[in-house]
Amino acid sequence: MPSDASPDPYATPIAFGQRLKILRTRRGMTRAQLGGLVDGKTASWVRAVEEGRLQTPKLVTILRLAEVLRVRDLSELTGDQSAPVALFTGPGHPRLRAVKDAIDAFPLATARPAPPTPHLQARLARAWAARHSAPNHREVIGALLPDLIRDARLTVRQADRTAERRAAQAALSEVYSLSQFFVAYQPDAPLLWRVAERGMVAAQESEDPHTIGVAAWLTAQAHRDSGPGHYDAADAVTAEALRFLTPLLPEASDDVLAITGALTFEAGYTAARRRETGTAWRYWDEARSLAERLPADYYHPVTSFSRAIMGAHAVTVAVELRSGGESVRQATASDTTAIPSRPRRARHRIEEARGYHLDGQPDVALDTLARAHEAAPETIKYNGYAKAIVIEETESKSPERRRRASELAARLGLLAV
């Protein structure tokens, strides 16, 4: 191992504080950044924990550290290998291998005729509709993706004329967009980045503004979810996409208007992660203005951007700003039933639960997570925030709350049934 390499937290038994320092450094975070994201702790507090001058924090703080550092398992932070609990990386879907094989394959010699681009577009439309309507949405799109990936690549290769090739590249980029929804939060980060980068390359080759916007939105999300060390990259992608799309807005289609709105909110989302309150809400307000220009029943199939989603977005901003009272106020004002997508509705329930938990209402948070599970079990199963709340409440002082949290934990596969 090179002398300047970070040690492996699993290589030898090491203390909690040493693990914390290793994982913080790998995320590119300063002590001040980490402390500020853990309920206002100071840089000196983080240093004291890392150096072993303070005892290992309580479970609630450990869970918050795991949330901020986006560790794969609590054991990665605590060192306890007896009961690893996956948090921000899901358990790995049974169809992941087939999807990965299709993404990694590069067949160069085939006589099979490619399906026409309109045929691919019709299959994609059905796939997005199935994703929004199915509670087991990963299972549904995981079954469709391998053939879609292979066929879309073949269509690009066999396209002869420039216009046909650009249309085929747009379809291929959309296939990669669908793939990113499947691959996200599963235990293969390099695969996620391959999908995001290939989607952006295909989008640029298509020269289609809407396709480019969608690929940029997903790439920005990949950067943002990689931690504070990647926030600048997320902002750069978002800003560049908005510079490209904004001049087109006077005559833009609903889809281009919607992806511009989604990217605008994405800038606010990252600002909220940075705790930049004014900037976050300014971008949310700009996004709402764009949403109001869309038809009342419009719903973007990839980003869910619409008039109906702005209430959910307001909850997300308040939660990321760690404002419990405002999160609850926004949750009360939002209309969950107006969101037609089951997985997006479940995700909104999770954001509401985070808000209630921040506001010191753990019973309401558990009720809300139970409703998220009813809407789309595969959404909550792969959501680290939801799992962190459930795990924390399994150690509640309230016997009834412990029971309810344990039952939900068992349904999520966090505890042995």
Q: What CATH number has the domain bearing residue 70?
A: 1.10.260.40
Q: Tell whether the model's pLDDT for residue 144 goes beyond 50.
A: yes
In DSSP terms, which residues pair with 297 in a beta bridge? Answer: none
Domain containing 279: what range?
210-307
When pLDDT is averaged across residues 73-85 and rounded to a whole number, the result is 69
Whole-structure pTM value: 0.84
Q: Is 168 helix (H, G, I), strand (E, B) or coil?
A: helix
Quick check: is 399 in a domain? Answer: no
- 261 shares its domain with 285: yes
Within-domain flag for 114: yes
Asked, for residue 222, whether it belongs to a domain, the answer is yes
At which of 159, 188, 207 does a domain end? Answer: 207
Mean pLDDT, rounded, of the chain: 90
Evaluate if residue 87 carries a pLDDT over 70.
no
**Out of 191-200, 265-274, 281-290, 396-405, least confident range:** 396-405
Residues 197, 106 share a domain: yes
State the Cα–Cα distance between residues 237 and 294, nearest whole angstrom. Answer: 24
**Mean pLDDT computed over 112-140:** 94
CA nearest 353: which of 319, 403, 322? 319
Alpha carbons 123 and 255: distance in angstroms, whole number: 18
Three-point CA angle 236, 179, 259, nearest 5°: 45
User: pLDDT tens, 367-402?
Assistant: 999 999 999 999 998 888 898 899 889 888 899 999
For 201-227, what is each residue's pLDDT tens digit? 999 999 999 999 999 999 999 999 888
Residue 33 has pLDDT above 70, yes or no: yes
pLDDT higher than 80, residue 293: yes
Q: Is the pLDDT of residue 251 over 90?
A: yes
Listed residue (407, 410, 340, 389) closest to 87, CA to CA: 389
In a domain, 189, yes or no: yes
**Which one of 257, 282, 307 terminates a domain?**
307
Tally Cβ neighbours within 10 Å of residue 106: 6
Considering Cα of 404, then 405, then 408, then 410, what sign does the dihedral take?
negative
Task: Return the pLDDT at 181.
Answer: 95
Tell me what the mean pLDDT of segment 266-276 comes to: 96
Instruction: State whether 194 and 112 are in the same domain.
Output: yes
DSSP summary character for residue 73 = B
CA angle 271/272/277 to nearest 5° reads 90
pLDDT at res. 92: 83
DSSP helix/strand/coil, 86: strand
Tens digit of pLDDT for each residue in 333-359?
A: 988 888 999 999 999 999 999 999 999
The yes-or-no verdict on residue 20 having pLDDT over 70 is yes
Rg (CA), the chain: 22
Helix ranges (DSSP H) in 51-94: 59-69, 74-78
Q: Which residues of 255-287 are buried (b: 16+ CB within 10 A; e: fewer)?
A: bbbbbbbbbbbbbbbbbbbbbeeeebbebbebb
Residues 218 and 278 in one domain: yes
**For residue 86, which phi and psi values (nearest 5 degrees)?**
-65, 130
CA separation for the pair 75, 85 (Å, rounded): 7
> What are residue 86's DSSP bridge partners?
73
Q: Are residues 252 and 284 both part of a single domain?
A: yes
Is the confidence at residue 7, as pLDDT, over 50? no
Q: What domain count does the chain have?
A: 3
Same domain? 97 vs 67: no
Is 8 inside any structural domain?
no
